[in-house]
Homo-oligomer: A and B are copies of this chain.
Amino acid sequence: MSRAKTRASDRSITTGSDFLHLTIADAPPGGRADWLAARLRQALADGRVPVGGRLPATRLLAADLGVSRGVVTEAYQRLTEEGHITGRGRAGTVVVAAPPAPATPTPAPAAAPAPGALFPPAPGSDIFDAVRAASATIDLTPGVPDLTAFPRADWLRAERTVLAHLAAADFGYGDPCGTPALRRAVAAWLARSRGIAVDPVEVIIVAGVSQALGLLAQVLGAAGIDRIAVEDPGSLGVRQHLNNWRVDTPPVAVDDAGLRVDELAASGVPAVMLTPAHQFPTGVVLDGDRRRQLVDWARAGGLIIEDDYDAEHRYDRPPVPALRGLLPEQVFYAGSVSKLLAPALRVGWLLVPARYREAVVAAKRNADLGNAVLPQLVLAELMTSGALERHLRLLRRRHIQRRDAMITALARHLPGATVHGAAAGLHLMITLDGELADGELAAATLARGVKVQPLSWHCQRPYRPGLVLGYAARTATEIEEGVATIAAALRSG
Contacts and interface: CB of A to CB of B under 8 A. Distances in A.
Interface in A190-234: 191-195, 197, 199, 201-202, 207-208, 210-211, 214
Interface string A221-253: 000000000000000000001001100000000
A417 interface: no
A188 B49 contact: yes
Interface string A135-156: 0000000011001101010011
A346 B366 contact: no
A316 to B, nearest CB: 5
Among A184, A344, A346, A347: residue with most chain B CB under 10 A: A344
A193 B15 CA distance: 10
A392 interface: yes
A13 B400 contact: yes
B393 A13 contact: yes
A163 interface: yes
Nearest to A16: B389
Nearest to A177: B129
- Copies of this chain per assembly: 2
Interface stretch (A168-176, A257-265, A479-487): A168-176
Contact of A173 (B128, B166, B373): B128
A270 interface: no
Among A18, A53, A347: residue with most chain B CB under 10 A: A18
A215 to B, nearest CB: 10
Interface stretch (A19-27, A74-82, A111-119): A19-27
A396 B15 CA distance: 9
B201 A344 contact: no
The majority secondary structure among interface residues of chain A is: helix
A386 interface: yes
A141 to B, nearest CB: 9
A370 interface: yes
A326 interface: no
A353 interface: no
Contacts of A16: 389, 392-393
A312 B21 CA distance: 11
A372 B393 contact: no
A389 B354 CA distance: 46
Interface in A343-392: 343-347, 354, 362, 365-375, 386, 389, 392
Interface of A: 1, 5, 8-9, 12-21, 23, 43, 46-50, 53-54, 60, 92, 106-107, 109, 125-126, 128-129, 132, 143-144, 147-148, 150, 152, 155-156, 159-160, 163-164, 166, 168-176, 184, 187-189, 191-195, 197, 199, 201-202, 207-208, 210-211, 214, 241, 244-245, 312, 314-316, 318-319, 321, 341-347, 354, 362, 365-375, 386, 389, 392-393, 396-397, 400, 404, 407-408, 473
Nearest 3 CB-CB pairs, A to B? A17-B193, A171-B342, A48-B191
